[in-house]
Amino acid sequence: MDNLFDLSGKTVLVTGSSRGIGKQIALQMALQGANVVISSRKAEACDRAAAEIAAQVSGSNGGSVTAIPGHIGFKDQLEDLVAQTNERVGEIDVLVCNAAVNPYYGPMAEISDSAFEKVLDCNIKSNHWLCQLVLPQMVKRNEGVIIMMSSIGGLYGHSTLGTYSLSKAADMQLARNIAIEYGPHNIRANAIAPGLIKTDFSKALWENEDALRATADTIALRRIGTPEEIAGAAVFLASAAGSYMTGQTLVIDGGMMGL
């Protein structure tokens, strides 16, 4: 193959892709020729993101972009998302479980049951559901890729993001389990663990200049990352370039964990 990163003709479903890291992953996949499905809770946001990505891909021999909304917290909506993707775009070659929630910032001792359950339901159970829905068609084709968007929070203890970090550690293990169970079917599963990335989702961690400066001092590159710097890794894992990587967590944190 001349281009190890070529995704021409592949159907890629990216959850939580109307903005932030998910949107950038969808864009970069489409630029590599993939037929991408944009999905998040609100139809209007999906349509807007799909139109913006399609405009950027136009004229580049890129793939198609389709908006299919769905709430990750409801299994019936995920079932519909997968069914519509299969019908309108094609069977799913690459599943990127990017959508996540974090409704609480503080010590685990004070989190409400409802907030705790929401984090685990949306960040772990929904990914498990999606994998259950998509893996059978991958087994049938003897090929497929699953990418879990995790976080470096899942690699160490945290005083204010404990529950969120717990869910992200579980996503790493989910990728490892799938890699072992489905490796014989030529299905690869990996996780990406970003550090602090400049997105709306992490705004509370970087919008304060003093806090941002203090955080940057703990990072080898002395800055936080951008969604584009995560999207490239997703393309690598989805493509032939990453064809011998499975069961791994790729840490992309500007060197924060190395200090």
Residues whose CB falls within 8 Å of the CB of residue 177, separated by 6 or more in sequence, listed in order: none
Alpha helices in the chain (DSSP H): 20-31, 43-57, 75-88, 113-120, 126-141, 162-182, 203-206, 209-216, 227-238
Cα of 175 vs its chain's centroid, Å: 12
List Cβ<8 Å contacts ≥24 apart for 82-87: 82/13, 82/130, 82/133, 82/134, 85/11, 85/13, 85/37, 86/137
CA–CA dist 230, 218 (Å, integer): 19
Cβ atoms within 10 Å of 145's Cβ, excluding its own: 25
CA–CA dist 154, 192 (Å, integer): 11
Kind and range of the H or E element at 189? Answer: strand 187-194
Residues in the chain: 259
Q: Are the beta carbons of 160 and 105 closer than 8 angstroms?
A: yes
Residue 66, strand partner residues: 37
Residues catalogued as catalytic: 164
